């Protein structure tokens, strides 16, 4: 009986801790070979303030500034 109570309490603690952990920022999608890509991160869902950007060139060179956030746009174009 005591083992069941302990197990239930442990499961409840783990479940509540999982709810409190913040979500990680959205990651950039992989750029397809022979394409150049822009990923732009914004400060909020209305996408009014840019807080970071990643550019991936046709040869695989990457250039990034700023920070990542959950709000992003991604564009991909042929080289």
How many domains is the chain partitioned into structurally? 1
From the list 23, 18, 20, 19, the residue with the least C-alpha distance to 71 is 23
Q: Is the pLDDT of residue 67 over 90?
A: yes
Q: Is residue 37 part of a domain?
A: yes
Q: Is residue 9 part of a domain?
A: no
Q: Is the pLDDT of residue 43 over 70?
A: yes
pLDDT band for position 2 (50/70/90)?
low
CA angle 75–76–79, rounded 5-degree value: 145
d(CA 36, CA 65): 17
Tens digits of residue pLDDT in 16-38: 544 444 555 556 578 888 999 99
The token pair that represents 11 in the structure block: 């499961």
- Radius of gyration (Cα) for the chain, nearest Å? 20
What range defines the domain where residue 39 resides? 24-78
The token pair that represents 57 in the structure block: 């060139």
Q: Is residue 36 part of a domain?
A: yes
Percent of the chain with pLDDT over 70: 65
């Amino acid at each position: 009986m005591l083992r069941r109570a302990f197990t239930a309490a442990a499961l409840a603690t783990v479940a509540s801790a999982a709810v409190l952990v913040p979500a990680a920022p959205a990651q950039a999608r992989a750029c397809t070979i022979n394409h150049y890509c822009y990923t732009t991160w914004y400060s909020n869902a209305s996408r009014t303030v840019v807080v970071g950007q990643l550019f991936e060139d046709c040869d695989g060179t990457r250039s990034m500034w700023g920070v990542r956030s959950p709000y992003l746009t991604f564009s991909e174009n042929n080289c």
